[in-house]
Structure 1
């Protein structure tokens, strides 16, 4: 497996002064470069969901293979970028993370991707990688990452194509103790700490289909990370991105597991009323975290083909 390149971009100039505090704040990303790429290069950026960092899309299980969507797409000629959200993983934390709303986090990621595109165009990502004269910009994410993709695309039009994985424009619902319940917990509570550490054990029935191997779930649980309270809470507010979704006018690939967070998967395309090209793919025998499903390669293959088709490759 080819190791990614680490790229850190100072995004403080794109943030409100009260967030940056006059200090650098970095978005850190892994960039996976293919051995060769098609005539029209494609750059796919993927944002992880809540309780995860960028390792979600480059997941490694001892003794197993085939859990890295990033490496799968790299092998098929796509450039893949895995950013950590501002405040998560290797990216910087604001001194007051409560100020990092979904729109602030989206501005940070847009600034980071704009700089990465510029470096790809200039040929400065790697000495062995030539300048790209043109590229198709694909942005997406899983769960909270899809929530942020919708927010970012509506505000900044960063991407030519979008991948919405495991998220709902209607409102997030969870499968807990045999019941389907709305995840919305009401208005933001600013008495909460900046960061929270969720208990994933109660989410296993939402996250995983019944046939996911126990060792895969164990590795998944071991990679649990803290989530900024504000982003986590906003991502599950009922209908919070409905107006944003309606403004997106680029082609969309929507993927939901057979048991996922949408109360009505077939209604999801209707929220993106300005997009004229929408693919809905419901992944069989998959929970919310499609990347761990035994059927995940069906999604991997579909994303590759869909992006190639949209790019004219």
Structure 2
């Protein structure tokens, strides 16, 4: 697998009064594995995380890189930091709106696609016959992916992981703790100046229970949380110190309902058994215009899917779905590939 960091100027994508850039990492198979109509997956992380979430490495543990898993099966994968997070322009975190983030991410996808086609994305890497462009986002990234696909027609298919098209709710241990949801009734008209990350984090009783299943190794949980959680004072390679404040409103009912209802492309809904959709089997109803909807609920998985012991079941299921919705299949015959599990 070849790994290459790239930067895209997206200043013209949205009306923010400063230069704007998006940081991304491309994960590329060997050139001889490229095919006509090569599928490309664009991956967006959740709030508090960076693009490194898709390529995690821990001492003493193997197999935490979703990017490596997918590239081994013939895909190109590009992970992107949102405006206000990771290595993208951080100083706009308190002013950027979700529509700006979607517009900037779309601009980055378009430019990266152009560079892939032209053979200019990575020195020495050949031009790519880009086929299906598939958007994949976890948590905040899932919501942004839906907005991009509906507003900008960015993708040929979307995988929405850990975000509800109806109402995103972080599960809690008790019904009493779950009453925190009453604090989140924002609309898209509420500007960033009316939102507070610290106050919102304080309103949610617990984050470890919804984010990490009990069988996640303790040292990996520590690696994720040692610098502060959910608001970080220091960030691991897969985390982000800065978080766009608009993410607060994404826990409100119907936050992406208008865009979800407009999507006519294939939709993959991926959830852990303890995740942000209180009624998983209602989720397909949010995507009323799509005639191709897949729902997959993975056992022993909480909200942060790529830390879960069962993460490869989700990844394998995604590989199968990528092949089904792309106009050129992907090679799922790698010896590392396990059986797809659907519930």
TM-score by length of 2: 0.83
What residue is the counterpart of 1:135 in the other structure? 131
What is the alpha-carbon distance in structure 2 between the residues aligned to residue 9 and residue 255 of structure 1?
29
What residue is the counterpart of 1:190 in the other structure? 193
What residue is the counterpart of 2:117 in the other structure? 121
**Structure 2 residue 219 is the aligned partner of structure 1 residue 215:** yes
What is the alpha-carbon distance in structure 2 between the residues aligned to residue 78 and residue 283 of structure 1?
22
Q: Of 302, 305, 322, which residue of structure 2 is paired with 1:307? A: 322
Is the 8 Å Cα contact of residues 2 and 28 (structure 2) preserved in structure 1? no
SS in structure 2 opposite 1:42? strand
For residues 12 and 267 of structure 1, do their structure 2 counterparts lie closer, same or farther at Cα, with a shift above 3 Å needed?
A: same
SS in structure 2 opposite 1:50? coil
Q: Of 19, 24, 27, which residue of structure 1 is paired with 2:19? A: 24
**Structure 2 residue 94 is the aligned partner of structure 1 residue 93:** no
**Structure 2 residue 51 is the aligned partner of structure 1 residue 48:** no
What is the alpha-carbon distance in structure 2 between the residues aligned to residue 251 and residue 191 of structure 1?
35
What is the alpha-carbon distance in structure 1 between the residues aligned to residue 194 and residue 160 of structure 2?
32
What residue is the counterpart of 1:255 in the other structure? 270
What residue is the counterpart of 1:104 in the other structure? 100
Deviation at 1:117, TM superposition (A): 0.3
SS in structure 2 opposite 1:148? helix
What is the alpha-carbon distance in structure 2 between the residues aligned to residue 261 and residue 238 of structure 1?
12
Gaps of 5+ in 2: 227-235, 330-343
CA RMSD of aligned residues (A): 2.2
Q: Of 157, 172, 175, which residue of structure 2 is paired with 1:176? A: 172
Q: Of 136, 142, 160, which residue of structure 2 is paired with 1:164? A: 160
Is the 8 Å Cα contact of residues 120 and 127 (structure 2) preserved in structure 1? yes
SS in structure 2 opposite 1:121? helix
Deviation at 1:173, TM superposition (A): 1.4
What is the alpha-carbon distance in structure 2 between the residues aligned to residue 234 and residue 29 of structure 1?
25
What is the alpha-carbon distance in structure 1 between the residues aligned to residue 199 and residue 173 of structure 2?
22
SS in structure 2 opposite 1:280? strand
What is the alpha-carbon distance in structure 2 between the residues aligned to residue 197 and residue 92 of structure 1?
23
What is the alpha-carbon distance in structure 2 between the residues aligned to residue 89 and residue 181 of structure 1?
31
Deviations 1:93-116 (A, max 9, x none): 34x544311101000000111000
TM-score by length of 1: 0.91
SS in structure 1 opposite 2:300? coil
SS in structure 2 opposite 1:173? coil
Is the 8 Å Cα contact of residues 213 and 300 (structure 2) preserved in structure 1? yes
Deviations 1:254-301 (A, max 9, x none): 100011110110000111011110110000111111111111110111
For residues 3 and 121 of structure 1, do their structure 2 counterparts lie closer, same or farther at Cα, with a shift above 3 Å needed?
A: closer
Deviation at 1:87, TM superposition (A): 0.9
What is the alpha-carbon distance in structure 1 between the residues aligned to residue 198 and residue 118 of structure 2?
38
SS in structure 2 opposite 1:202? coil
**Structure 2 residue 232 is the aligned partner of structure 1 residue 235:** no
Deviations 1:188-241 (A, max 9, x none): 572656889958993111011221111121112243533435321122121111
Deviations 1:31-90 (A, max 9, x none): 111112343301101110011111111111111111111111111111111110001010
Matches within 5 A, 1:268-307: 268-307=283-322
Deviation at 1:177, TM superposition (A): 4.0
Deviations 1:116-147 (A, max 9, x none): 00000101112332212342101110000001
